[in-house]
Amino acid sequence: MAKLFAGVGTSHVPGIGAAVDHKKTQTDYWKPLFDGYEPAREWMQNEAPDVVIIVYNDHASAFSLELIPTFAIGVAERFQPADEGYGPRKVPVVEGHPELAWHLAESLILDEFDMTIANEMPVDHGLTVPLSIACGEPDIWPCKVIPLCVNVIQYPSPTGNRCYQLGKAIRKAVEAFPADLKVAIFGTGGMSHQLQGERAGLVNADFDIAFLDDLTRNVDRLVRIPHVEYLREAGSEGAELVMWMIMRGALDDDAREVYRHFHVPASNTAAGLIILENP
Amino acid sequence: MRKDREYSDIPGTYVFDPEHSRQGYHLNMFCMSLNKEANREQFRRDESAYLDVFPMSPEQRDAVLQRDWIGLLRLGGNIYYTFKLAIFDGINMQEIGARMEGVPDEQFKAMMINGGRAIQGNRYQKEWNRSG
């Protein structure tokens, strides 16, 4: 049977992808961030998951205001890097796992999570930057990927609790899949940042550190954080952190932290990364 | 902007809620169109003619032409959409941040390198009113 063994929380700042793409990871500005990613890359290489479910949000690339799915799951064979206005990132095409993805869609919907099913879904920096963080610059990505796209742009996004419960349903679905697959889940976005308005540039490191701590110490608190608290304390775009709750919900209650990295700034954002493993 | 929501008292923040989204639909969809190179090409040739296709308000249209970044947000723009226009202009997110706040780019960049805008004093509108 498939096994969901670990979760990773990570920011997905586009500037991080641009630093990789333009060979700037060793500059004074970016080096401290990328040095902290090295242990995560080693972990990824050693653990070598067959499939990674990447929970991310689209940034007006595959979806626009024309259609705003709260939760969309990508079931295609492959997903092309999206053109976000600069031309697509020159990273490998993302290969899907249609069989597991369809199984997830079926199981989740019957479990009363009304997923949108996407056969065509170009993937933007929200998904490809976490892959660059975890895998560096390979010619092909070392794992299959199931994109799980969450609306966090149009208010309201799903609640932290809804996300957490979805994570639990994902866990159940993965472990009912009759193939011997090693599966990890990434929750991406955050940490504290605000891109818009006169308050742009907001960073709340205390909030972020407490969030990282409570992913293992007090998940109940995180599950109950209301949108207004994210908006006020972590910034209007820091509210993306609800996506980490899907990752957390998919893990055991007593999952343990094996690595973390926190750095300010990555352009306008506090960048965080955490690796959690089931016991 | 609505004044009756629990997030209405967060200063300098334009929550992209249903009202905001209705107001900014055509403005944001114009921005979205810049994802396509062919459209960028057309917009580059004649900005005003290109905008004729999108049924925006005259204020929204002016804000686009004048690159009034904070005005775009006040008129229903969402930052992920208005940023498409910034990408078109070759401006990065920190430069947009500086322009929305009305400070020099270098000042905004220095603020980020020094840990970003502090949360202290920036949670509630009343804190801004006192200091302003």
Per-residue pLDDT reduced to its tens digit, A209-255: 999 999 999 999 999 999 999 999 999 999 999 999 999 999 999 99
Q: Is B122 near chain A, with CB under 8 Å? A: yes
CB A266 within 8 A of CB B92: no
Per-residue pLDDT reduced to its tens digit, A114-152: 999 999 999 999 999 999 999 999 999 999 999 999 999
CA distance B11 to chain A (A): 7
% pLDDT > 90, chain A = 98
According to the model, what pLDDT value does residue A243 have?
Answer: 98
Please give the Cα distance from A110 to A5 (Å, whole number).
Answer: 24
CA distance B66 to chain A (A): 17
pLDDT at B132 exceeding the cut of 60: no
According to the model, what pLDDT value does residue B4 have?
Answer: 87
According to the model, what pLDDT value does residue A208 have?
Answer: 98
pLDDT at A105 exceeding the cut of 80: yes
According to the model, what pLDDT value does residue B1 have?
Answer: 60
Per-residue pLDDT reduced to its tens digit, A28-47: 999 999 999 999 999 999 99
Q: Is B50 near chain A, with CB under 8 Å? A: no
CB B96 within 8 A of CB B78: no
Q: Which amino acids of A are annotated catalytic?
A: 125, 193
Q: Supply the CATH classification number for the domain A3-254.
A: 3.40.830.10
pLDDT at A172 exceeding the cut of 70: yes
Q: Are the Cβ atoms of B28 and A60 closer than 8 angstroms?
A: yes
pLDDT at B131 exceeding the cut of 70: no
pLDDT at A100 exceeding the cut of 90: yes
CA distance B53 to chain A (A): 16
Confidence of residue B2 (pLDDT cuts 50, 70, 90): low
Identify which of B11, B31, B35 has the shortest CB distance to residue A199: B11
Q: Is A178 near chain B, with CB under 8 Å? A: no
Per-residue pLDDT reduced to its tens digit, B15-64: 999 999 999 999 999 999 999 999 999 999 999 999 999 999 999 999 99
Residue range B68-77: mean pLDDT, rounded: 98
Residue range A57-64: mean pLDDT, rounded: 95
Identify which of B32, B92, B112 has the shortest CB distance to residue A201: B112
Whole-prediction pTM: 0.97
Confidence of residue A87 (pLDDT cuts 50, 70, 90): confident
Q: Share the mean pLDDT of chain B.
A: 95
% pLDDT > 70, chain A = 100
> Which residues in chain B have their CB less than 8 angstroms from residue A267's CB?
92-94, 112
